[in-house]
């Protein structure tokens, strides 16, 4: 077994990693969404967001494993961080660097590994990797798809530094949404998946602020964001664009499927109103648009189309 070498810029690399303040934090849906998508896309049992510190590889997200870390000296990701390209092992038993590795000989019995380096501020901090217990090929299209997913992880890791999260609700803000949704759209186009956007605007929000105060208004926004998170899938991108406007990007989802999801959300909001008995009722107007290559040149164009439909629906109230 060959142990991973230490990068020449190790001191600066570790400084960048620790500056993110992400090590030993709890699981987060924004990362788990990506590993679940990787697992499904590549049909593998294990997908990880792995970060390499001094002595270990620590998993910010892990699907298919029950541990949160393993020793750096036996890690595949420790090798992957030495380059900028996807590091692929199609059959670990036939590779002298890994054939007698404990992770190959024992659980999880790694045979196939592909890890895309995660680069923040010029330093490789870890990988988005996928693992299988069966040898398998990995072609250029697979490599490009894994790169697209890894870019989303990089955006999420940079979220605090780039101010891409909404301070009040904790979900993505407009800036964060535009970056994440555009990358998701690119990934969906590459894999020929449908993408549908749902634009939502709270009804009567100004009146709630005027009649009950801004503290109540803020509470309404937080509750609405939580209802969105609890109703839509973990793979969907949810954001507050500003004020009382929200958006959900649903990957691998047709317009008809999105309509059904929105119907479920309507039920969720109805149950919320029934349970809380506020002096106001939570309600919203919406617009739904499925991505069409002939009509929408970018995520901005898709968002504008959904906004227009939402405004038309709101005008009819």
For tokens 């609700």, what's the residue? 169
Active site residue 32: no
The phi and psi torsions of 132 (rounded to 5 degrees) equal -135, 150
**How many alpha carbons fall within 13 Å on the CB side of residue 94?**
9
What tokens were used for 310?
């939402």
52 touches 126 (CB < 8 A): yes
Q: Could you give the CA distance from residue 309 to residue 69 in angstroms, rounded to a whole number? A: 47
What tokens were used for 27?
């699981």
Q: Could you give the CA distance from residue 190 to residue 259 in angstroms, rounded to a whole number? A: 24
Angle CA(91)–CA(96)–CA(97) in degrees, nearest 5? 90
- Looking at 244, 279, 292, 307, which residue is catalytic? 244
299 touches 182 (CB < 8 A): yes
Active site residues: 244
């Amino acid at each position: 077994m060959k142990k991973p070498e230490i990068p020449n810029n190790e001191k600066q690399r570790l400084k960048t990693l620790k500056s993110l303040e992400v090590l030993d934090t709890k699981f987060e849906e924004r990362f788990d969404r990506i590993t679940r998508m990787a697992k499904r896309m590549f049909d593998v049992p294990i997908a990880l967001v792995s970060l390499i510190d001094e002595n270990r590889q620590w998993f910010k997200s892990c699907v298919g494993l029950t541990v949160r870390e393993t020793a750096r000296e036996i890690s595949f990701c420790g090798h992957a961080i030495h380059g900028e390209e996807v590091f692929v092992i199609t059959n670990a038993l036939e590779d002298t660097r890994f054939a007698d590795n404990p992770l190959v000989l024992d659980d999880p019995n790694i045979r196939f590994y592909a890890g895309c380096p995660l680069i923040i501020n010029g330093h490789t901090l870890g990988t988005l990797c996928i693992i299988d217990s069966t040898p398998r090929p990995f072609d250029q299209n697979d490599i490009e798809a894994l790169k697209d997913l890894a870019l989303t992880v990089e955006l999420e890791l940079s979220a605090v530094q780039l101010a891409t999260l909404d301070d009040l609700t904790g979900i993505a803000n407009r800036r964060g949404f535009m970056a994440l949704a555009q990358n998701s759209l690119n990934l969906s186009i590459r894999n020929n998946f449908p993408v549908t956007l749902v634009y939502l605007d709270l009804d009567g929000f100004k009146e709630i602020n005027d009649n009950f105060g801004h503290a109540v208004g803020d509470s309404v926004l937080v509750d609405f964001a939580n209802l969105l998170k609890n109703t839509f899938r973990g793979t969907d991108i949810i954001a507050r664009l500003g004020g009382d406007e929200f958006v959900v990007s649903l990957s691998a989802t047709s317009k008809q499927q999105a309509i059904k999801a929105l119907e479920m959300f309507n039920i969720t909001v109805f149950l919320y109103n029934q349970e809380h008995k506020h002096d106001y009722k939570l309600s919203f107007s919406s617009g739904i648009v499925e991505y069409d290559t002939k009509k929408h040149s970018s995520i901005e164009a898709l968002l504008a189309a959904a906004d227009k439909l939402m405004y038309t629906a709101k005008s009819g109230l």
